[in-house]
Amino acid sequence: MSDIGYPVIEQIKYDPQATGKLEDAIDGDKLKRKLLMDYPTVYVIYSPIKSGGYKVYVGETNDIERRTEQHLNEDPKVRDDWRELSKSKDAQMFVIGHDHFNKSLTLDIENQMMLFMLGVPSVKRLNNRRENEQNEYYTSNEKDKIFSRIWRKLRGFDRDLFPVESIIRDSAIFKASPFHNLTTEQKNAKDIIIDRVIDALLSKKKGQLILVEGEAGSGKTVLLSTIFYLISTLKDDGSPLRQGFDHLKNYVLVNHDEQLKVYEDIIDKLNLNYKNDDVVSKPTHFINSHDESDPADVVLVDEAHLLWTQGKQAYRGQNQLDDILKRARITVAVFDRNQILKTEEYLEPQQIQNMEEKAMKQNNLIMLSNQLRIDANKETIEWIRDITDKKIIKKIPKDSKYDLRIFDDAKEMYEAIRHKALGDQKAGLSRILATFDWKYNSKRKPDNGDYWMVTAGDLSLPWNLQLKPKGGRSLNRLAWAEQEQTIDEVGSTYTIQGFDLNYCGVIIGPSVKYRNGHVVFDADASENTNAIRNRTLQDGQKRKVASQLLPNELNVLLTRGVNGLYIYAVDEELREALLRLE
């Protein structure tokens, strides 16, 4: 890494004398002057908040003196964020230079800084008005190494504002951030969706559906998050094509408590909320609080396979997607039929076909095929999918990139995952998960103890969401897997869906068996009442659909591990088959 050199960073007080203080800091140093005054730079301005944490602005410029003067004197006249910073008595500014900086690289470093700052717990408000991802350029291969050196040097100034990189990378908000570099497939999808959204808004269309389909780990959430950010920052530039874009009403809906927390944090930090309205909510709340006569502009639905297709609780309709379409000009929904988990989400094949045909008629069906979560070769991914899709177990392929292990002892697997989570700093976020084959009731304790337990062999651990967070501060806004105490719990599909782990240990419970050379799903051995109860079909018949939902449950669990998957099967024949083919 010595060939990329080291960054030059100066910290100065952000006030009307800021540019003079930067001159004083340079103090005749010719190299510093060249890198901070003559070259493009990246800068971070931050101010403490009374309630704790920081407000942060990230930017880049070819002329740090001119840009700083603009921020101090002109921007406060038209923007609240700069007005607040200009009045702060404690605001500070980092100016960052590097001898490899060019315009493209500083734009990419700025975008990377936004990505990381969004994941910093102490950052409560993050401001920037652009999406700066660049295409290939001369020094693009140096970005990650240069950024890591910048971040480590910034940690020397403030460890609260600049935590260890791995902590941020493991956070759910980082993984769902709109500032990730998109793949070519995601970029193409993004461009199509933005064009369709603008066209629908300009033509005053209503009930438009853009359907994005992709399997677990195909990058649907990052794509959706990016699109929401771009749409929310669309501005009326005075041209006929942008009239009224300053006042768009856009919403994100998700039927998942853990994912809801993540979107709420993103929206809060980026200041994308509306007064007296919930930008992020569950579908039922949106449907009940919006009228068809006054449709929203753009509604984005994450995990659309979790939408209800029958009435339940406060929802009195028959299909949440249909009701959302009636209340929006354009709806962008990301969907994976293999992640439908509950009978109230069940869609008959004809219903899925009708949904796809509706999107296709509007030329709005987008398919994502790349696997972005699991860092494994194609054969390993196929091996995982064959268990749920084809109900077969093949010999585990050799894969130097991916740690796939079968365990004969559940306790031994748990200890291996615990070591990854707590004893191996390079491993990162790791947790134990299980199929929903043990009793659990969130509303009461069991008769024989304090916790509902998952028991497999000699291992016995509480089900998720039962242990209280360790430490004095509240962690209830963090996703389940990010909370420290959850290393001593077992997660379910309902807490882990939509998220990933670096290493994932899966206890396959007694509902999954191996008989006559095939994987068999036994609804009688499952405690997942959401999947095994009757479902009323469109023709009025009541039918069990567990044979489709239980494989989906296992699919969600087996596709969480980025770098490794550890498996223990309760069923003896299944365990022996897995061990034999390891």
pLDDT at 546: 96
User: How much of the chain is helix, strand and coil, in % rounded to 5?
Assistant: 40, 20, 40
- Whether the CB-CB separation of 501 and 429 falls below 8 Å is answered with yes
pLDDT in tens, the chain (582 residues): 447 789 999 999 999 999 999 999 998 889 999 999 999 999 999 999 988 999 999 999 999 999 999 999 999 988 888 888 888 899 999 999 999 999 889 999 999 999 999 999 999 999 876 555 555 555 668 889 999 999 999 999 999 999 999 889 999 999 999 999 899 999 999 999 999 998 888 888 889 999 999 999 899 999 999 999 999 887 654 555 555 576 788 999 999 999 999 999 999 999 888 767 789 999 999 999 999 999 999 999 999 999 999 998 889 999 999 999 999 999 999 999 999 999 999 999 999 999 999 999 989 999 999 988 999 999 999 999 999 999 999 999 999 999 999 999 999 999 999 999 998 878 889 999 999 999 999 889 998 889 999 999 999 999 999 998 875 455 567 889 999 999 999 999 999 998 999 999 999 999 999 999 999 999 999 999 999 999 999 999 999 999 999 999 999 999 999 999 999 999 999 999 999 998
Q: Which residues of 211-222 are buried (b: 16+ CB within 10 A; e: fewer)?
A: bbbbbbbbbbbb
Single pTM value for the model: 0.90
- The gap from C-alpha 264 to its chain's centroid, in whole angstroms, comes to 12
pLDDT for residue 265:
93
CA distance 352 to 355: 5
How many Cα atoms sit within 13 Å of 541 on the Cβ side?
5
DSSP string spanning 55-92?
A: EEEEEEES-HHHHHHHHHHTGGGT-HHHHHHHH-SS-E
Task: State the helix-helix crossing angle for 546-558 and 378-389, rounded to 10 degrees.
Answer: 160
Query: Is residue 310 within 8 Å of residue 536, measured between CB atoms?
Result: yes
pLDDT at residue number 136: 53
What are the φ/ψ torsions at residue 534 (nearest 5 degrees)?
Answer: -70, 150
Amino acid at the residue 383: W
Return phi, psi of residue 152, to 5°.
-65, -35
What the block records as the tokens of 281 is: 């909510």
Please compute, for residue 1, the number of CA atoms within 13 A of its CA located in the half-sphere on the CB side. 10
Would you state the pLDDT for residue 142?
86
How far is Cα 263 from Cα 78, in angstroms, rounded to an integer?
28
Distance CA 557, CA 82 (A): 45
pLDDT recorded at residue 177 = 94
The string of pLDDT tens digits covering residues 388-418 is 999 999 999 999 999 999 999 999 999 999 9
Q: Are 297 and 249 in contact, with CB atoms under 8 Å apart?
A: yes
The CA–CA distances, whole Å, from 287 to 290, 297, 475 equal 6, 14, 30
Question: Does residue 271 come out as left (phi exceeding 0), alpha (psi in the -120 to 50 range) or beta?
Answer: left
**Amino acid symbol at 571:** D
Q: Which segments within 160-305 are labelled E, that is strand? A: 208-214, 250-253, 280-281, 296-301
Torsion of Cα atoms, 477 then 479 then 483 then 485, to 10°:
110
Sort residue 368 into left (φ over 0), alpha (ψ -120 to 50) or beta. Answer: beta
